[in-house]
């Protein structure tokens, strides 16, 4: 029997299905995106891998195996349905995939928090696509998901990523020692955060600087 290409759609999966800025569009990756995604990942492998954890040795490689990529999409979809993580491909408005951005480790209860993560292809770096994507995700986090705090954790030597945090005026909160496994080593990370109160104070500036006047809102998105 041929493997199904359809994904199960939960009602809540529709929440934030697509976030649109002036230059980028964020949407969940689908199995059909595999060729494009693997091409980007292969072309940018040396650019991306120094900043990423080593995968589990037994997990199949989604770059090499379409079924592993399909499973990856399904895992993001389930996490979205269960409100534990939200993953998005970053597409240019003409449809080209250039990276990913995610909200992970969503904690409800008294925390109401999540972590933002991101990458962009090497040949699309330096155009501000990630800051734009992160602003869209922050708006989604605070205004659609109702979260109270979004954090980013960055290797001290990752100057480009720290520039993104600085541009977005994320508050630097200090260093967490040996926080994450990166390329097999437990690495210290600088912690950054923004709370809903800070978002509310700065949202107009964010939208003016990073989303510009051309921002369009799709059905289901709200401009407040
Ligand atoms: C960090 C990263 C996501 C930034 O995304 P981006 O869309 O390029 O962000 P920006 O355009 O705002 O550029 C950020 C900084 O990158 C540097 N940069 C600019 N052009 C660049 C280029 N062509 N190539 C490499 N770096 C460049 C600059 O220092 C820039 O800051 P500036 O605008 O003040 O000069 C991207 O560099 C990346 O994916 N790096 C590899 C993976 C990674 O580090 N992920 C984050 C882990 S925490």
For residue 98, what is the enclosing H or E element? Answer: strand 97-107
Domain assignment present for 3: no
**How far is the C-alpha of 174 from the C-alpha of 192, rounded, in Å?**
8
Q: What is the pLDDT of residues 136-150, one digit of tens each?
A: 999 999 999 999 999
pLDDT digits (tens, 9 = 90+) for 88-141: 999 998 999 999 999 999 999 999 999 999 999 999 999 999 999 999 999 999
- State the burial class of residue 9 (Cβ atoms within 10 Å of its Cβ: 0-12, 13-18, 19+): exposed
pLDDT at 17: 79
pLDDT tier, 213 (very low <50, low <70, confident <90, very high otherwise): low
pLDDT above 70 as % of the chain: 88
User: Ligand 1: which of 47, 103, 126 to mutate, judged by most atoms within 8 Å of the beta carbon?
Assistant: 126
In a domain, 142, yes or no: yes
Q: Does residue 137 lie in a domain region?
A: yes
104 close to ligand 1 (CB < 6 Angstrom):
no
Q: What is the DSSP letter of 140?
A: I
User: Would residue 171 count as lying in a domain?
Assistant: yes
State the residue for tokens 């401009």: 223
How confident is residue 16, by pLDDT bands cut at 50, 70 and 90?
Answer: low
Tell me, what CATH number does 167's domain have?
A: 3.40.630.30
Let me know if residue 222 belongs to a domain: no
14 falls within a domain: no
Task: Give the mutation target among 125, 130, 180 for probing the ligand 1 site: most ligand atoms within 8 A of CB.
Answer: 125
Domain boundaries, position 102: 19-211
Q: What is the pLDDT of residues 135-185, one digit of tens each?
A: 999 999 999 999 999 999 999 999 999 999 999 999 999 999 999 999 999
- For the chain, the average pLDDT equals 90
Residue 216: exposure state from Cβ atoms within 10 A (0-12, 13-18, ≥19)? exposed
Number of domains in the chain: 1
| Contact 134 CB / ligand 1 (< 6 Å) | no
Which protein residue's CA is at the shortest distance from atom 12 of ligand 1? 128
Indicate whether 59 belongs to any domain.
yes
In a domain, 91, yes or no: yes
């Amino acid at each position: 029997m041929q493997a199904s290409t359809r994904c199960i759609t939960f009602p809540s999966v529709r929440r934030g299905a697509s976030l649109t800025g002036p230059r980028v569009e964020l949407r969940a990756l689908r199995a059909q995106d595999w060729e494009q995604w693997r091409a980007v990942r292969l072309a940018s492998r040396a650019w991306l891998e120094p900043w990423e954890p080593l995968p589990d040795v037994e997990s199949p490689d989604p770059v090499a195996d379409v079924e592993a990529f399909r499973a990856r999409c399904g895992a993001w979809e389930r996490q979205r349905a269960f409100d534990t993580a939200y993953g998005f491909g970053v597409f240019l408005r003409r449809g080209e995939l250039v990276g990913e951005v995610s909200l992970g480790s969503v904690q409800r209860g008294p925390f109401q928090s999540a972590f933002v993560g991101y990458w962009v292809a090497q040949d699309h770096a330096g155009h501000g696509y990630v800051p734009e994507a992160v602003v869209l995700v922050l708006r989604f986090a605070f205004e659609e998901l109702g979260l109270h705090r979004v954090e980013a954790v960055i290797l001290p030597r990752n100057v480009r990523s720290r520039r993104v945090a600085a541009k977005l005026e994320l508050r630097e909160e200090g260093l967490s020692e040996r926080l994450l496994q990166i390329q097999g080593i437990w690495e210290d990370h600088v912690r950054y955060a923004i709370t809903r109160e800070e978002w509310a104070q700065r949202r107009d500036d964010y939208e003016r600087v990073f989303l510009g006047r051309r921002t369009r809102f799709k059905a289901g998105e709200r401009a407040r």
